[in-house]
Structure 1
Amino acid sequence: MATRLAACETCRKAKQACDHGQPVCSRCQSSGGICIYRTAPFKRRRTEKPSLRSPDPSPSFSPRRNPYPNPGYLGSSSHAAIFKHIASDDHSHNAPETEAPQSVGDNYMLLQGADVLRHLLTRYPLSAMKELVTFWLAKGANLALAEPFVARCAESVSQLFTLHDDNWHLVYARRLLENSAKPLQFNEHSDLGTFSAQFLDHNARWETLGIFFAAVSRATIDIPFFPLLYTAEEDQYTLRRLVTKLSDFALEVSLSLDCLNDLQLIVQYENFIVHSYVDGDQSYHSWRKLGDVISSTFALGYHENLETKPGIPLFLMELRKTAFARIYSADKNIAIFLGRPPRMNKRFCHFQIPFDHQTPGQSSSNEWDPDSKPGYRADTRWSALCAFLKEEVWELLQDKHDAACGQRASIIQRKAEEQWEALPAHFRLESSLKQCARSPFERDFLAHVRLTHLHVLFLLRLLLLNTLTEPDIPIIETAGQMLALVVEIILLREQLTNSGTGLIWKVAYYGLPAAGILLLALLKQHPHAPGISRNKILQDLSVFVAEVQIGTIVKPGDPNYALLSKATSTIQRFLDSFHSDAGQPPLEAGHEEGSDDWAALLSQDLWDAEAGFWQSLADHPSLLALDPPLLSV
């Protein structure tokens, strides 16, 4: 008697013939959907609605795990480095695998992720979210590290969910988990297509959803109006929070399997970037997320020389270098922004960056292909090169009183200038941004390249000041250029596409320190110098304040609103006093009551760029202390 075979759920629901192929029938193979066979297909189901606490048991799955923690990369000081030199027979490496049961915590996390998935997809059409991502990509934006996979993941996810039973979300959540537990296979001949196929369509994993929903979250930030999903800010914010939450669950469920891989690291990085937008750059949550990404980088061994690892295809080698470079840069920039020590010390890392524009064989990191095009790869290279110099500035800060400090600073400055000159000519912004006739992405890219270079010089000159309250001519000139460019970016924001860093980050990270130095220069009656226009400084400060205060770039309730509003409030007090009392002779700043005490309170800490600086500046005994030369034009 022939055995009765059940159709997969997709064919059964569509009432189409199924060829019962395992693990994927031919119909699902061609459509790209998830092929699911129930474990008890002919068993009559109960009529009551299943509960999240007692889900339908099919398809049952307990991931096969190593009962011992996955050690990841083990370096030269570890026990593994010693024991690998001890001869052992081959059988010692083939110990039988043991299956560890799925923990209660993992089940709870899986149920939570499934519930958020159900809530999201019953409230928002998946096809509309795919259209949002497609529209966002068409503007030239993308996820910087996951760039090669975003469009593919969006297409794959949009075709996944075909079941509509009461517990469909549990069925898919388990299948996604089953796929996530499979190792990603590759060899030296693998290409991007074969590698990607392991987590697309019927092979979709939780990481696939993590990338897609990170892209949806980022798209809601860059696209303020999308009628298929939202027309009001409240709806936009609700969708952003929900897809961010699902991206979080996708990442946590993947990491719970203790099988860290390239795809999980990519999701970790993009999830950190999403949280920097959603929670703010000062959020402890974002800071912890970055720490997790750095920990995974070390656990995977990507701080070692990747080119010495055998059997890695070129595309994956470049992807790993890109991951290292972006994470290394993020560590330095966030450390500076928050005034905290960096966590990736270059002494313990092999500094490596991807080739620009797919050009293998470059002899040095400063060497660029003259035909390179603006893009995330080029942004990654440049940001990492500048981050390397920023770390050298940080190291110099620890030895500021060393007699050789000035000489070492000169070396860093020379390196910065050489890096700038080594850039392709079409990467160097030498004119006003508004005069740059390029695409929105390219204009933003050029502005960021210029700002990053100026920031290295700014930090170096800030370090060499005798006291922060008395800025010298070089740092005033650099700060003036930084602020002028940030103001241009603010005014031209509708004509720019995010090329790696968002508008708020540029305003807070580059604009605020520059504005602070310029305000200090005005308050300390700095003499007039060639190349420094007081009118231009006052104009830029006025525009900077106005754009923040009227809510065009940040609104109450936004993550970085408190920092920006505090700073602009202090600048506004100065501008008000300047315009209302410009005709009155000012007092000598050195004789103002309490001025010495104020100067002592203002921190010289190079890395303190938070609200504390602006609080100290706001406590200046008199914002009316202006020297007559400052009033001239």
Structure 2
Amino acid sequence: MSPRLAACEVCRKAKLACDHKQPVCTRCKSTNREGLCVYRASPFKRRRISTVSPSLVEQQSTFLRSPDPSPLLPRPRQNAYPNPGYMGFSSHVAIFNHISPDDDDNDIDAVNASHVTQCALRPMTDDDDDLMQRGAETLRQFIGTFPLDAMINLVKFWLAKGVNLAMAEPFVEQCVQTMKHLLTFLSQEGWHLAYAERLLRNSARPLEFDQETTLASFTAQFVHQNARWETLGIFFSAVSRAALDVAFFPSLYSTENEQYALRKMAMKASDQALEISLSLDCLNDVKLIQQYENFIVHTHVDGDQSFHTWRRLGDMITSTFALGYHENIKNKPNMPPFLVELRKLASARIYSSDKNVAIFLGRPPRMSKRFCHFQLSSSWTGFDSEAPEHIRDTLGGCGDAKASYHAETRWSALCASLKEEIMEMFCDGRRDTYVQRASVIQNKAEAYWDALPPHFRLEGSLKQSALNPFEKDFVAGVRLNHLHVLFLLRLLLLNTPAEPDTSIVEVAQQILSLVVEMILLRDQLVNSGTALVWKVAYYGLPAAGIILLAMLRRQNITFPAQRAWTKPVQDLTVFVAEIEAGAIVRHGDPNYALLSKAAQTIRRFLDSIHCEVAPQPESDNWASFLSQELWDFEFAFWENLADHPSLDSLSSL
């Protein structure tokens, strides 16, 4: 006698025949209801209703008439045994490996691979109701507040501008298409419960691959009907980022307050999706990408100085180590080429983020080349590169390489490796070796710059380049990163930052001029890896500070006589004016306090300078000298003004 099979929930409630196919029955597949096609864990078990009080009976009766929120499938569970992840040379795994050295199954990499994925292969129990309910409530609230179709259109509009999520770029389009698939279920009663159940079940499955796996087949494991919480987390991050870059989108927001509300609620939805994913204790590549994009969202919503942002960076680095991506990724067995590049990209981007944030906040870095294999992608071109690895140069000169997030990551990692060496010199205190070691690092920095594809090097003015908005931002970012390495080297060699020398002032002026030019051309730029506000805070503020200190050290020299200060004063004036006008940050933005405080300091200095160079009262009357009305600004006005004796003192400038 064949066992009795239960119908899926859709067929059961509609009282229709079901062919019991899993994961989706034929009827649901033909009617585009894959997301609701779920099977109950105990379909023939009657539900008990206790009769402790009339009010409770009434509540439970109402509950039973609503869509069944109970588990519809065997649910993934948190592991009975902790998932150890990567186990290194000093662990018990390495020691026990010597017991049977000829047994390939005891290879450390093989053991680590099984530890990382084994959690998804364990039996499932019914102890994850809270995760499912939390996820369902997140979906209900977020999509109930902001229309899903409008958010999809916002992300698509944002992508059309040539921008994307830096690490999740290969998957964002597919994640958006997956959310379009969800649109067909929103009118169904209890859709959020059924969809949260499916997401939870899918999220506990391992992402499988072998040497023949392609990027498309890998992506298919977590999109459309295989959607996971990682998929939604990436989409929510894209929504928050799009709401930051698109100032006006009437179907979602038309005021700054509404825009900020969407950014913050999308961040909270991204947080919830990430927490559910991590609660399953089963790390994978997409979860790490989800963590990175969530971290970037927090930098935009909470700010670069926020403890929440700092903590998420630490969590992301912890996952990197647990996955073993600090080891040489090329040596891992059975990995397809695209996944090798993806993991290198993730490791390099997280490594450079660690160094940049550590420098920005003045805190110790968490990832060190002493304990990590420095990962660098095989070329500038990304996943589509087919050049054999043995003919690729370490620095990867490639004349046909295009500006991309992949190339930006590669360059940032190279610069971050030099910044780490400089940070170590700051801490070791061996000043007698500073000059020699700094010379070695500078030679490396110049060699890296020379090895860049020629069209990646910004040599002249940014406004004169015939590049698209992404490329302009890209070449400017590349140049700033290079100058920042030189800036840190010169800062290292100073006796004290309060006594800047000519060499650091020259680099600081180059940095400040480029940052100011980017501010003025901001409407012609799009984010190529880091936002403009980050470039202003990370590169611009230290450079402006050094210039101010240099000017203060030269108080004994009459300021107007110093021709070299004309350009810095102009740049500082524009820098302050743009900040005060709200062109970079507005009141309420996360980095507003940081930039506005710096602007106030610069403004006070500029005001004092202007007071010092103000001309003394002259006996000649300005109006009579100009022989015309003061508000008459025709060409003759400026021609006469240039001949005024009060301006003779400025002729040496």
Q: Distance in 2 between matches of 1:530 and 1:431?
A: 28
Whether 1:111 and 2:124 are equivalent positions in the alignment is no
Question: What's the CA shift string for 1:310-339, capped at 9, x where partnerless?
Answer: 100001100000000000000000000000
> Residue 265 of structure 1 contacts residue 293 of structure 1 at CA under 8 Å; is this kept in 2?
yes
- Could you list the per-position Cα deviations for residues 368-407 of structure 1 after superposition, in whole angstroms to 9, with x for gaps in the alignment? 2111100000000000000000001111112343322100
2:638 corresponds to which residue? Answer: none
| CA displacement 1:42-81 (0-9 Å, x = unmatched) | 99997625799x9621414331553111110011111100
2:169 match: secondary structure = coil
1:106-161 superposed Cα distances (whole Å, 9 cap, x missing partner): 54344223212101112222111111111111111111111000010110122125
Structure 1 residue 439: Cα displacement: 0.6
Specify whether residues 449 and 90 from structure 1 end up closer, same or farther in structure 2 by C-alpha distance, changes over 3 A only: closer
Partner of 2:321: 298
Q: CA deviation at 1:242?
A: 1.2
Q: Is the 8 A contact 2:25 2:37 kept in 1?
A: no
* Counterpart in the other structure of 1:122: 144
Q: Which runs of 5+ in 2 are unaligned?
A: 48-59, 617-648
CA distance, structure 2, for counterparts of residue 343 and residue 631 of structure 1: 54
Per the alignment, do residues 6 and 110 of structure 1 end up closer, same or farther by CA in structure 2, a change over 3 Å counting? closer
Determine if contact 1:50/1:166 at 8 Å carries over to the other structure: no
CA distance in 2: counterparts of 1:506 and 1:91, whole angstroms: 48
* Runs of 5+ consecutive residues of structure 1 not aligned to the other structure: 586-628
- Encode CA deviations 1:250-269: one digit per residue, 9 max, x unaligned: 11101111111111101011
Please name the residue that 1:171 is paired with.
Answer: 194
Give the superposition deviation at 1:455.
0.3
Alignment of 1:15-414 (within 5 A): 20-26=20-26, 31=32, 33-39=34-40, 48-49=62-63, 56-87=69-100, 99=123, 101=125, 103=127, 107-160=129-182, 162=185, 164=187, 167-354=190-377, 355-357=379-381, 358=385, 359-361=387-389, 362-414=391-443
Q: What residue is the counterpart of 2:587 in the other structure?
A: 556
Count of residues in correspondence between the two structures: 587
CA contact (8 A) 2:35 2:194 kept: no
CA gap 1:479/1:22 in 2 versus in 1, 3 angstroms: same
CA contact (8 A) 1:369 1:424 kept: yes
SS of residue matched to 1:368: coil
Match of 2:522 in 1: 493
Aligned to 1:622: none
Q: Give the Cα–Cα distance (whole angstroms) in 2 for the partners of residues 44 and 50 of structure 1.
A: 12
Contact map agreement 2:215 2:338 (CA 8 A) in 1: yes
Cα 1:124–1:47 shift into 2, 3 Å: farther
Residue pairs, 1:437-516, within 5 angstroms:
437-516=466-545
CA distance in 1, matches of 2:33, 2:447: 50
Shift of 1:419: 0.5
Change beyond 3 A, Cα 1:269–1:98: closer
CA distance in 2, matches of 1:630, 1:517: 25
Alpha-carbon separation, structure 2, partners of 1:451 and 1:506: 8
Shift of 1:3: 9.6
Give 1:422's aligned amino acid: A
What's the Cα RMSD here? 3.2
In structure 2, give the amino acid aligned to 1:473. T
1:534, 1:630 within 8 Å by CA — same for their partners in 2?
A: no
In structure 1, give the amino acid aligned to 2:470: F
Q: Which one scores higher on RCO, CA 8 angstroms, separation ≥ 6? A: 1
Q: Does 1:543 align with 2:574?
A: yes
**More helix as a share of residues:** 2
Shift in alpha-carbon separation, 1:450–1:325, aligned structure 2, 3 A: same
Give the 3-state SS of the residue equivalent to 1:159 in structure 2: helix
Q: 1:630 to 1:312 in 2, by over 3 A?
A: farther
* Distance change >3 Å, CA 431–CA 529, structure 1 → 2: farther
What is the one-letter code of the residue matched to 1:302? Y
AA paired with 1:420? W
Q: Which amino acid aligns with 2:190?
A: N
Q: Determine the structure 1 residue equivalent to 2:623.
A: none
SS of residue paired to 1:348: coil
Aligned equivalents of 1:90 and 1:544: distance in 2? 62
Instruction: Give me the whole-angstrom Cα distance separating, in 2, the residues matched to 1:207 and 1:384.
Output: 26
Give, in whole Å, the separation in 1 of the partners of 2:104 and 2:160: 53
Give distance in 2, aligned partners of 1:91 and 1:147: 35
Residues 232-264 of structure 1, C-alpha deviation per residue, up to 9 Å, x if partnerless?
A: 111111111111111111111011111111111
2:646 aligns with: none
* 1:566 counterpart residue number: 597
For 1:281 and 1:107, the matched residues in 2 are separated by 35
1:485–1:28: structure 2 CA closer, same or farther, 3 Å change rule? farther
**What is the one-letter code of the residue matched to 2:485?**
V
Q: Under a length normalisation based on structure 1, what TM-score does the superposition of the two structures give?
A: 0.86
CA contact (8 A) 2:38 2:194 kept: no
Whole-angstrom CA distance in 1 between matches of 2:204 and 2:596: 46
Computing the radius of gyration from Cα coordinates, the structure with the larger value is: 2
Query: One-letter code of the match for 1:188?
Result: Q
8 Å CA contact 2:10, 2:28 repeated in 1: yes
Instruction: Check whether the contact 1:28–1:202 (CA below 8 A) recurs between aligned residues.
Output: no
- The answer to whether the 8 A contact 1:61-1:174 is kept is no
Q: Do the aligned residues in 2 keep the contact of 1:143 with 1:270 (CA within 8 Å)?
A: yes
Match of 2:22, as an amino acid?
Q
Provide the residue aligned with 1:620 in structure 2: none
Amino acid at match of 2:576: V
Deviation at 1:41, TM superposition (A): 7.6
The aligned amino acid for 2:158 is: W
State the SS of the aligned residue for 1:258: coil
Separation in 2 of the partners of 1:501 and 1:543?
22
Q: Percent identity?
A: 59
Can you list the C-alpha shifts for 1:483-538, whole angstroms capped at 9, x where unaligned? 11111111111111100000110010001001001111111118799997322111
Q: If the length of structure 2 is used for normalisation, what is the TM-score?
A: 0.83
Mean Cα deviation higher: 362-371 or 338-347: 362-371
1:492 alignment partner AA: L
